[in-house]
Amino acid sequence: MNYQAPRGTYDILPDEISKWHYLENIIRRNAKLFNYKEIRFPIFEKLELFKRGVGETTDIVEKEMYVFKDKKGRIFALRPEGTASIARAYIEHYMTSSQKNPLRLYYFGPMFRYSRPQKGRYRQFYQFGLEYIGSPQPIADAEIIALGMKIYQDAKVPDIKLEINSVGCPICRKEYNTTLKNFLFKDKEKYCSDCQRRMDINPLRVFDCKNDSCQNLLKNAPRMIDNLCTDCDNHFKEVLGLLKKMSVEYNVNPYIVRGLDYYTRTAFEYKIDYLGAQNEIGGGGRYDDLIEYLGGKPTPAVGLSGGLERVILSLDKSKVYIPDEDSLDVLIIPMKYEFICQSIEILQSLHKNDISSIIADSQTSLKNNLKYCDTNKVKFAIIIGEDEVISGKFVVKNIRERSQKKIIISEICDYIFSNLKLV
Ligand SMILES: [Zn+2]
Ligand SMILES: [Zn+2]
């Protein structure tokens, strides 16, 4: 039997990992700059949380969740996104605390959605997210949006575009839903069955349809942005004004609704146009009602999430230089197995000084060991042969400079340590 990773999942091999660290470091650094604190939450939660948090009629909940029963018959789902869990954790841990200041959180981790795998889209995929909980003010929206943009720019994602919209609040959306329903029902039979079913219960979700003919029919649909209440309209204008002040460029796109029910007011997406159909690399919005809806006190919040796979693909395309942080400092090469004791002695003193080092296989030829150093960007090689053991002086090769020096054992560490900085 040949085992392979399940369809839609993949291994990140050691050769690839430096790109992930590169990206994760940029996210962590920026999160720290704005005082966002890391939160980790379970891979699975009660199914009910996502049904209620993400929305029963969303594609995610209707079609894409991994749902399972545990041995006691309780029903769980692998997390398809992070915000519902964050809201749950917020209610569980912070709701009753005296903390009055807004809470800034960030997270990393795998998410799971059963969708058709394609380039840059997987069933187990990695996301980062930022959440700003406790502020209704437009500056919170602008901070999140600008911080997301800064992360993509620091990661050198080329030609990134920001699109923004307002999806209103329950007050203006109620009225808009009626207007939208009237529009949709005029041509009800022309839409696909999913749309027909959704137009009654949750008409805004019709915009998520991936069907071209449905999208065509929607071209003349009334737009939320033209039907905002005064408060939502003012909020939206203020967010746009702040983005301008922060020199964050954007386009208003009235068709951004995000595929989740919890958004209110601001909704936005980061896009690139060179990865085919997968042009959205991140996005988010305000979710003022979610925490209350899940059983907490009314708590306004705004957040974003981004998939890491598509960013990695864009880095490959733009050929960003990513330093290989994992390359080995020293390969110790015993010419015979009997020199293993001297090798261990050197190995231990290098490790004490935090210099990464391994002992080469003594059965491999010197030539092949040096070749290994070349192809794996090893910085130094120390050769332990008959002459060296007798004289107590060992050959230390600087691989990149192709130079070498004979050094007594007690000085090897110091020599390598001071030369590592120059390599
Ligand atoms: Zn409103
Ligand atoms: Zn449709």
pLDDT at 256: 87
Of 11, 16, 20, 18, whose CA–CA distance to 307 is shortest? Answer: 20
Confidence band, pLDDT 50/70/90 cuts, at residue 421: low
Reduced to 3 states (helix: H, G, I; strand: E, B; else coil), residue 162 is strand
Distance 46 CA to ligand 2 centre (A): 29
Distance 204 CA to ligand 2 centre (A): 12
For residue 68, name the pLDDT band (cuts at 50, 70, 90).
Answer: very high
> 246 pLDDT exceeds 70?
yes
d(CA 203, ligand 2 centre) in Å:
11
The amino acid present at 174, given as its one-letter code, is: K
How high is the pLDDT of residue 56?
Answer: 86
Q: Is the pLDDT of residue 278 over 70?
A: no
Which is more confident, 31 or 274? Answer: 31
Kindly state the average pLDDT of the residues 260-285: 87
What pLDDT does residue 420 have? 82
Distance from C-alpha of 33 to C-alpha of 53, rounded to nearest angstrom: 30
Distance between Cα 307 and ligand 1 center (Å):
30
What is the 121 CA–ligand 2 centroid distance (Å)?
21
The reported pLDDT for the residue numbered 123 is 97
Percent of the chain whose pLDDT exceeds 70:
97
Give residue 423's pLDDT band: very low, low, confident or very high (50, 70, 90).
low
Closest ligand (CA of 264): 1
Average pLDDT over the chain reads 92
Q: Which helix (H) or strand (E) holds 389?
A: helix 386-391
Check pLDDT > 90 for residue 59.
Answer: no
- Is 295 strand, coil or helix? coil
Say what the pLDDT of residue 101 is.
Answer: 75
The ligand that comes nearest to the alpha carbon of residue 174 is 1
Is the Cβ–Cβ distance between 61 and 54 less than 8 Å? Answer: yes
Measure CA of the first residue to CA of the last residue in the chain; give whole Å. 47
* DSSP 8-state assignment for residue 165: E
Per the model's pLDDT, the better-predicted residue between 137 and 423 turns out to be 137
Q: What is the pTM of this model?
A: 0.86
Burial label, 259 (beta-carbon count in 10 A; 0-12, 13-18, 19+):
middle
pLDDT of residue 204: 86
Between 220 and 242, the higher pLDDT residue: 242
Residue 153 CA to ligand 1 center (angstroms) comes to 32
Ligand 2 centroid–CA 212 distance in Å is 8
Residue 422's pLDDT band (cuts 50, 70, 90): low
Instruction: Evaluate if residue 394 carries a pLDDT over 80.
Output: yes
Specify whether the CB–CB gap between 391 and 384 falls below 8 A.
Answer: no
**Tell me, what's the pLDDT at 275?**
74
Distance 185 CA to ligand 1 centre (A): 24
Confidence tier at 362 by pLDDT (50, 70, 90) = confident
pLDDT of residue 30: 96
Q: Which residue has the tokens 């437009």?
A: 138
Spell out the residues 6+ positions from residue 250 whose beta carbon is closer than 8 angstroms to its own.
Answer: 145, 162, 163, 164, 240, 243, 268
Which pLDDT belongs to residue 339? 93
Q: In this prediction, what percent of the chain has a pLDDT beyond 90?
A: 73
Query: Residues 220-238: pLDDT tens digits?
Result: 999 999 999 999 999 999 9
**From residue 412, how far is each of 42, 59, 222, 378, 397 by CA, in Å?**
47, 62, 75, 16, 11
Using alpha carbons only, give the angle 99, 147, 163 rounded to the nearest 5 degrees. Answer: 120
Task: Give the tens place of pLDDT for each residue, 151-168.
Answer: 999 999 988 999 999 999
Q: Could you tell me the domains of the chain?
A: 17-169+229-318 (3.30.930.10), 330-420 (3.40.50.800)
Mean pLDDT of the region 198-222: 89
Residue 259 has pLDDT above 80, yes or no: no
218 CA distance to ligand 2 centroid (A)? 10
